[in-house]
Structure 1
Amino acid sequence: MSIHLLASNNSVRNTTLSCDSMGIHYEVSKSSQTGIVSVHRWESTSNQNVLAGEIEFHWFSADLLRMGDGEWRRRKDLLANEERNPMSRTRTFTGNNGVRYKWKFHWDSLQLCHADRDATNQEALVVYHRHFLPNKPSYLEIRDTSVLPGLDSIIVTFLYMEKKRRDRDKAQRRHGAGGGP
């Protein structure tokens, strides 16, 4: 059985990701003063929002991320390009549960897999389903519930990866990525 975390809107900086039946609720908001994107998880036992992580996007210097209230880290130190290929968009990280994961792009879909397993025969653990129509929300499909203990870091890194994918798509459209004479 998969779990669907529904996005309240198509923004990666101001939205909620939730599955009410599982009691999972993440609130994503961008500060108008600092520009920092904060991700909070609703904790049902204390009925409070707990900081899952933060992202600070920069134009001319390294983007910064932090998990929970930990230290700020550069993107390349947290989400590594282990393929050593500058064209690769696959990024690897260690979740807050100690498991190594990697985000990869499959067609137009962002997928999470185990980083230490054979990539060719591996089923995705989490898949992002992006929709553009207002009556059909985008959602993260959690296909393997073993990732739930690491969900905070998965959500924060997903938001970062999806924002960068959108930025790249926007730049390609702006610069006419099509062929021609």
Structure 2
Amino acid sequence: MNQAYFIAGTDTDVGKTTIAAGLLHAARLQGMSTLGAKPVASGCTMTAKGLRNSDAQALIDESSIKLPYEQVNPFAFEPAIAPHVAAREAGVTLGVTPLLAAMRNVLDQRADFTLIEGAGGWRVPLAGLENLSDLAVALDLPVILVVGVRLGCISHALLSAEAIARDGLQLAG
């Protein structure tokens, strides 16, 4: 049985990667094949192999199916700013279509347990009127919402859950 989920957050820095890596680790301990991906990431570090993101690397480390870095994190940007701004500064058009193609390749690996981790909150802009939430809708994946426990989190969680439901997706957890 293949399970796949989109990991969303109420905001940036709420623990999406910690939760995703933990879920991948637990699934691997249960004997499942695992694969995690982060379609877009800003705040990457330049290495000899190119831009690398610590969140994407954490997902790779907990994945039993090993893909090249560029397939796990196809859109990596150096500045730690909103992905749509980082993409624009890099001269890259960031949209649902290229992200969708890359993530379908990840899902085509047919891991027992696959997680696709978003960036920031549910409505992170990509380009024009497109948001990262449009990728989750196009993939039709149930959503695991990660909430940072801090002042205002109840409202952020409820608003995010309402938006996910309004977008027609199942809130899985």
Same fold (TM over 0.5): no
Q: TM tier, shorter chain?
A: 0.3 to 0.5
Give the greater-gyration-radius structure (CA).
1
> Which structure has more RCO (C-alpha within 8 Å, separation ≥ 6)?
2
| TM-score when normalising by structure 2 | 0.35
| TM-score when normalising by structure 1 | 0.33
More helix by share: 2
